[in-house]
Structure 1
Amino acid sequence: MAEFEKLELEISVALKEFADSTKKSSKVAADISPVLDVTSELPLANLEYWERFIRDQYDNALASGYSHRWKFWQSNTPRISLLDLCSWDGYRREKALKTINTKVPNKLFLAFVLRRLNDWVPQVRLAAQDVLDKVLVNTEPSYVADVICFTLSHWSSWQRIDEPNRKALLDTLANKDIAKHVKLKLINSAAGPLASILSEVGRTDALDDSLEEIAASAIQPSLRAKAYRSLLEGKVSWFEGREWEWTDRRYNEGRMKPIVAERALSTKIPLLPTMLLASNDRSSLVRRVAAEILIKELDNLGSASSVLASKYAADRAAAVAERGKFALKKLAGDTLF
């Protein structure tokens, strides 16, 4: 049996056991811990699939357990639990959020809570907003870091979340433990939209002091490139949205133009040493960024400009070499380029 199918089976069995324990006739106290155990390591990358799967399997288990309609004196309505964060019923999603006291037991269910900030029912969004601060403060920092990174990589497509809730999520990074886990996740992850996540985190100054470490140590080249660009430009930028731009009003033609916002870094770094580090990076993505910055900073680097330009001109990557040759021509005063 494939590992994925085995995991689905384990979750189905745990959901069935929990549904059975919630019956009025059950002699066993309702215990959700088996469900929490089997879902604790589920990858957030498949969050939408697992939400649908848990909802469908739990609904099926409940349907088989609450079918005694002739016993009119017994309630056929199952008790509210964390699993109702995935329910089709907005009333149950809202009540599930209101039952959360202090923390969420694993990162999967924390991700479900945060997804309710973009829920299609306004009352559910309000309930998620009310519970947001306490669950983020009281839940395990590593869980919060994982879920925040996942959320930041997706929330540009969330149309219902409001700015106060976005700000509340970002303000969580003021917690040093959470910020540390976010930094380590960025550095040690090899795949995913890490550069985009760093851009979104850049709305705050939580990782400004860690950018040099990220640039030097991150596994993913595009993340190192993003970190070096932010350091060398002294600012961090992120995608803010899109707005309509007319290209020809006579013919009613236009396009959606991306809006890029930026913020100056709260820390300053020495330009030349950082340029030298970037020029020796093993990835051409990083060296290309450094070559682009060199062209902008030719007049501020003194004699080092020609040394770096010559180095880039001889680079084995064509995109880097092209920029190095451009810089050499500019230093030579050649305007025919």
Structure 2
Amino acid sequence: MQQSQAMEDKVISAVRDFASSINSGSKVVADMSVLIDATSQLPLASFDYWERLVRSEFSLALTHSIAPKWKFWSKPYELLTWLDLISWDGYKREKTLRTLSGGAPNTFFFSIAVRRLNDWVPQVREAAREKLPELAKATDPEYVVEALCIALSNWNSWGRIEEVDKNTLLQIISEEDIAKTLRSKLISSAAGPMPSLFSQLGRTPILDGKLEEIADFAIQPSVRAKAYRSLFEGRIAWIEGRKWEWTDIRYCEGRLKAVVSERKLDVQTPIFDLLKKSSEDRSSIVRRISAEILIRELEGLGDEVKELAEKFASDECNSVSERGRFALKMLDEAERTNPS
């Protein structure tokens, strides 16, 4: 709690100092180094909170900061900065997007730009669609990838983003430098929403040639499991959104149902090779999927299938061993029905 409060105080102080430098009357671009340092340390999982805080403090500081009295006769000079992307004024947000040049100074500021795809003003969303690819190319790929990870994990909850806006992000994802960094993050991240990120990245072909590598080396078991399932099933599925489904309209009862889309894959690795590798995975999550696929594919596999079934049946995880025993039972029934 104390650490969070210290971080908040640091951000507020940096925002106020930056606003004060803008209202100093100078036409020189204000120094953002302290603000960049403060926002670089923010946890992006709480991005909504930090964006609201920065917007409120920046607006308040600009209002209370007094311009030099000796310049009362001069026309105010409008200095647009990255913080104006979260201005209360939609015209200013749009103008800022169209006039920004160079890359974002950190993940926080690129995330602000990405979130304009969900802006409540259509003209701002249009400006974001046009400008984001250019900003992404000029920004450090690490910053872009961090921002995209947060956006892709949450964009199904964005009420105003349209399909054309999503395509803008998918276009950025498909850039080779970004795609390479995203694949590396999927494999090396020990925490974070990597499983949902994997599914959303499946909308594009950037993972297709690397699925076995992800299945073998991803740190998070759920990511390895998704990679193996995609290889087994020859498709990648993702949640497109959610729609309301009535369960009993008489009592106005219902639920939100996930809308799932998928894309077919061209898998070259033989299924038995995938089964052997996944059966030896250190996580029961992956071994359970392997045992499930074994049951589904029993008839199409060779003589070694019983050995695999016995291996699953002796697994220390109950959900895996249950499937192994069921596979052995099916094999015994098949032998009795069709004795050789």
Does residue 33 of structure 2 align to residue 33 of structure 1?
yes
SS in 2 for 1:21: helix
Partner of 1:119: 119
Cα offset, 1:10, TM superposition:
2.7
2:10, 2:38 within 8 Å by CA — same for their partners in 1? yes
Deviation sequence 1:221-242 (CA, Å, 0-9, x none): 1111111111111111111233
Cα offset, 1:305, TM superposition:
1.4
Bigger CA drift: 5-14 or 118-127?
5-14
Change (3 A) 1:95 1:309: same
SS in 1 for 2:333: coil
What's the TM-score once normalised by structure 1's chain length?
Answer: 0.90
Partner of 2:174: 174
Partner of 1:307: 307
Bigger CA drift: 135-144 or 24-33?
24-33
Change (3 A) 1:209 1:29: closer
Deviation sequence 1:228-260 (CA, Å, 0-9, x none): 111111111111233455667888876544322
What's the TM-score once normalised by structure 2's chain length?
Answer: 0.89
Looking at structure 2, the residues matched to 331 and 104 of structure 1 have their Cα atoms a distance apart, in angstroms, of: 60
Bigger CA drift: 33-42 or 210-219?
33-42
SS in 1 for 2:260: strand
SS in 2 for 1:332: helix
Change (3 A) 1:255 1:11: closer
Equivalent position amino acid for 1:46 in 2: S
Change (3 A) 1:309 1:38: same
2:236, 2:262 within 8 Å by CA — same for their partners in 1? yes
Bigger CA drift: 67-76 or 47-56?
67-76
Partner of 1:191: 191
Looking at structure 2, the residues matched to 5 and 189 of structure 1 have their Cα atoms a distance apart, in angstroms, of: 27
Change (3 A) 1:198 1:72: same
Bigger CA drift: 210-219 or 5-14?
5-14
Change (3 A) 1:264 1:25: closer
Equivalent position amino acid for 1:32 in 2: M
Equivalent position amino acid for 1:65 in 2: S
Looking at structure 2, the residues matched to 286 and 66 of structure 1 have their Cα atoms a distance apart, in angstroms, of: 62
Partner of 2:229: 229
SS in 1 for 2:206: coil
SS in 2 for 1:239: strand
1:22, 1:78 within 8 Å by CA — same for their partners in 2? no
Does residue 314 of structure 2 align to residue 322 of structure 1?
no
Change (3 A) 1:69 1:125: farther
Cα offset, 1:311, TM superposition:
0.9
Partner of 1:100: 100
Partner of 2:283: 283
1:11, 1:38 within 8 Å by CA — same for their partners in 2? yes
2:23, 2:67 within 8 Å by CA — same for their partners in 1? no
Looking at structure 2, the residues matched to 250 and 63 of structure 1 have their Cα atoms a distance apart, in angstroms, of: 53
Cα offset, 1:269, TM superposition:
1.7
Looking at structure 2, the residues matched to 94 and 207 of structure 1 have their Cα atoms a distance apart, in angstroms, of: 34
Deviation sequence 1:271-291 (CA, Å, 0-9, x none): 122211111111111111111
What percentage of aligned pairs have identical amino acids?
49
Does residue 53 of structure 2 align to residue 53 of structure 1?
yes
Partner of 2:338: none
1:195, 1:226 within 8 Å by CA — same for their partners in 2? yes
Cα offset, 1:78, TM superposition:
5.9
Equivalent position amino acid for 1:111 in 2: S
SS in 2 for 1:261: strand
Change (3 A) 1:256 1:53: closer
Looking at structure 2, the residues matched to 33 and 292 of structure 1 have their Cα atoms a distance apart, in angstroms, of: 54
Partner of 1:209: 209
Looking at structure 1, the residues matched to 116 and 174 of structure 2 have their Cα atoms a distance apart, in angstroms, of: 23
Partner of 2:218: 218
Equivalent position amino acid for 2:117 in 1: L
Equivalent position amino acid for 2:133 in 1: D
SS in 2 for 1:238: strand
2:309, 2:325 within 8 Å by CA — same for their partners in 1? yes
Bigger CA drift: 168-177 or 25-34?
25-34
Q: What pairs up with 1:249-264 in 2 under 5 angstroms?
A: 256-264=256-264
Equivalent position amino acid for 2:182 in 1: V
Change (3 A) 1:160 1:331: same
Looking at structure 2, the residues matched to 316 and 36 of structure 1 have their Cα atoms a distance apart, in angstroms, of: 50
SS in 2 for 1:240: strand
Equivalent position amino acid for 1:3 in 2: Q
SS in 1 for 2:293: helix
Partner of 2:16: 16
SS in 2 for 1:302: coil
Partner of 2:164: 164
Deviation sequence 1:296-329 (CA, Å, 0-9, x none): 1112221121111111111111111111111111
Cα offset, 1:159, TM superposition:
1.9
Q: What pairs up with 1:259-278 in 2 under 5 angstroms?
A: 259-278=259-278
Equivalent position amino acid for 1:19 in 2: A
Equivalent position amino acid for 1:90 in 2: G
Looking at structure 2, the residues matched to 107 and 250 of structure 1 have their Cα atoms a distance apart, in angstroms, of: 48
